Amino acid sequence: MRKLLVLALVLCLVVALVAGCSSQKKQEGQPNQQQEQQGGQQEQQVAYKDGTYYAEEKEFSEQGWKGLVTVIVKDGKITKVFYDEINKEGKLKSFDPEYGPKMKEKSGTTPLEAYAKLEQSLIDKQKAEAVDVVSGATHTSEAFKALAAEALKGTPVEAKGGLKDGIYKAAEANFDDHGWKAMAAIIVKDGKIQSAFFDEISKEDGHYKSVDQEYAKNMEAKSGQTPAKAVEALTKSLIEKQDAAQVDTVAGATGTSTKFKNLMTEALSLAK
Domain assignment present for residue 28? The answer is no
pLDDT number for residue 4: 41
Give kind and range of the element (H or E) at residue 260. Answer: helix 254-270
Q: Band of the pLDDT at 213, cuts 50, 70, 90? A: very high
The CATH number of whichever domain residue 266 belongs to comes to 3.90.1010.20
8 Å CB contact between 54 and 148: no
pTM of the model: 0.84
To 10 degrees, the CA torsion angle through 135, 139, 141, 142? 130
Are 163 and 255 in a shared domain?
yes
- pLDDT, greater one: 74 or 27: 74
> Mean pLDDT across the stretch 38-44?
45
Are 128 and 221 in a shared domain?
no
Q: Which residues contact 122 (CB under 8 A, 6 or more apart)?
A: 71, 78, 81, 128, 131, 148
pLDDT number for residue 250: 98
The DSSP secondary-structure symbol of 163 reads: B
8 Å CB contact between 205 and 199: no
Q: Three-state SS across 211-234?
A: HCHHHHHHHHHHHCCCHHHHHHHH
Distance in angstroms (rounded) separating the CA atoms of residues 127 and 12 = 56
Q: Band of the pLDDT at 47, cuts 50, 70, 90? A: confident
Q: Band of the pLDDT at 212, cuts 50, 70, 90? A: very high
Domain assignment present for residue 30? The answer is no
Domain assignment present for residue 143? The answer is yes
Q: Band of the pLDDT at 3, cuts 50, 70, 90? A: very low
- Mean of pLDDT over the chain: 88
Are 133 and 178 in a shared domain?
no
> Mean pLDDT across the stretch 227-250?
98
Longest dimension (CA), the chain: 117
> Mean pLDDT across the stretch 65-77?
98
Domain assignment present for residue 173? The answer is yes
Domain assignment present for residue 128? The answer is yes
**Residue where a domain terminates, one of 129, 157, 185:** 157
8 Å CB contact between 181 and 174: yes
Q: Which amino acid is at 242?
A: Q
Min mean pLDDT across 37-41, 55-59, 204-208 is at 37-41
Are 124 and 179 in a shared domain?
no
**Residue where a domain terminates, one of 157, 188, 218:** 157
Domain assignment present for residue 11? The answer is no
pLDDT number for residue 35: 46
Q: Band of the pLDDT at 46, cuts 50, 70, 90? A: confident
Task: Count structural domains, the chain.
Answer: 2
The CB-side HSE value for 85 (13 A sphere, CA atoms) comes to 22
8 Å CB contact between 163 and 192: yes
- pLDDT, greater one: 7 or 232: 232
Q: Is 268 helix (H, G, I), strand (E, B) or coil?
A: helix
- pLDDT, greater one: 214 or 3: 214
The DSSP secondary-structure symbol of 250 reads: P
**Residue where a domain terminates, one of 132, 157, 182:** 157
Distance in angstroms (rounded) separating the CA atoms of residues 56 and 167 = 10
DSSP state letters, 105-120: HHHS--HHHHHHHHHH
Distance in angstroms (rounded) separating the CA atoms of residues 40 and 177 = 49
Domain assignment present for residue 4? The answer is no
Are 211 and 186 in a shared domain?
yes
Share of the chain above pLDDT 70, in %: 83
On the question of pLDDT at 210 being above 70, the answer is yes
Over the range 162-181, which residues count as b (16 or more CB within 10 Å of their CB) and which as e? ebbbbbbbbbbeeeeeeebb
Domain assignment present for residue 147? The answer is yes
Q: Which residues contact 53 (CB under 8 A, 6 or more apart)?
A: 70, 71, 72, 73, 151, 152, 154, 155, 156, 157
Are 77 and 153 in a shared domain?
yes
Are 164 and 182 in a shared domain?
yes
Are 53 and 143 in a shared domain?
yes
Are 135 and 67 in a shared domain?
yes
On the question of pLDDT at 168 being above 90, the answer is yes
- Tens-digit pLDDT profile for residues 99-133: 999 999 999 999 999 999 999 999 999 999 999 99
On the question of pLDDT at 185 being above 70, the answer is yes
pLDDT number for residue 5: 39
> Mean pLDDT across the stretch 18-23?
44
Among residues 193, 175, 176, which one has the least CA distance to residue 242?
193
Domain with 181 in it? 159-271
Are 97 and 124 in a shared domain?
yes
The DSSP secondary-structure symbol of 137 reads: -
Are 125 and 189 in a shared domain?
no
Are 203 and 137 in a shared domain?
no
On the question of pLDDT at 184 being above 60, the answer is yes
Kindly calculate the radius of gyration of the chain based on its CA atoms and give it in whole angstroms.
Answer: 29
